[in-house]
Amino acid sequence: MGGISNDLHVHFDPQYPLKISQDINWKEVNSKIDLINVQIFAVVSSEGCVDLALPLIQSGIQNIDASATRDVFMARFLPAVVDGKPVSASIVIPIHFTRKR
């Protein structure tokens, strides 16, 4: 087979959930904005580790994009399965940062 498929289902490993950093420097963000959305493209290995993570849709704020990318790298996944065997797959992960008022 070989290669990476994006047609497969990859799920977060419930034992290692995605933890979103909330140590965002909101002073860099317009005071009228309370929600920032970022999407990260990731390649998940057959072992459930992230081999590659890149911002697909960026916020335009470097520390937020870097934080989202770092958080995805630290997550673990249940890999996609083909014919009963785990395989690498690509996914897009939406991440939402919310300002606490």
pLDDT (tens digit per residue) in 38-55 = 999 999 999 999 999 999
Q: Indicate whether 7 belongs to any domain.
A: yes
* Burial classification of residue 93, based on how many CB atoms lie within 10 Å of its CB (0-12 exposed, 13-18 middle, 19 or more buried): buried
Count of CB atoms within 10 A of residue 34's CB?
13
Q: Indicate whether 8 belongs to any domain.
A: yes
Instruction: Give me the pLDDT at residue 36, please.
Output: 82
Of residues 23 and 44, more confidently modeled: 44
CB 35 within 8 A of CB 99: yes
pLDDT tens per residue across span 61-78 = 888 888 889 889 888 888
Q: Indicate whether 30 belongs to any domain.
A: no
Q: Indicate whether 52 belongs to any domain.
A: yes
Domain of residue 79, CATH code: 3.30.2420
Domain that holds residue 68: 1-14+35-101
Q: Indicate whether 92 belongs to any domain.
A: yes
Which tokens go with 49? Answer: 């580790």
Distance CA 54, CA 39 (A): 9
Of residues 46 and 98, more confidently modeled: 46
Q: How many separate domains does the chain show?
A: 1
What is the mean pLDDT of the segment spanning 65-93? 90
Which pLDDT band holds residue 19 (cuts at 50, 70, 90)?
A: low
CB 82 within 8 A of CB 6: no
Of residues 65 and 1, more confidently modeled: 65
Instruction: Give me the pLDDT at residue 14, please.
Output: 55
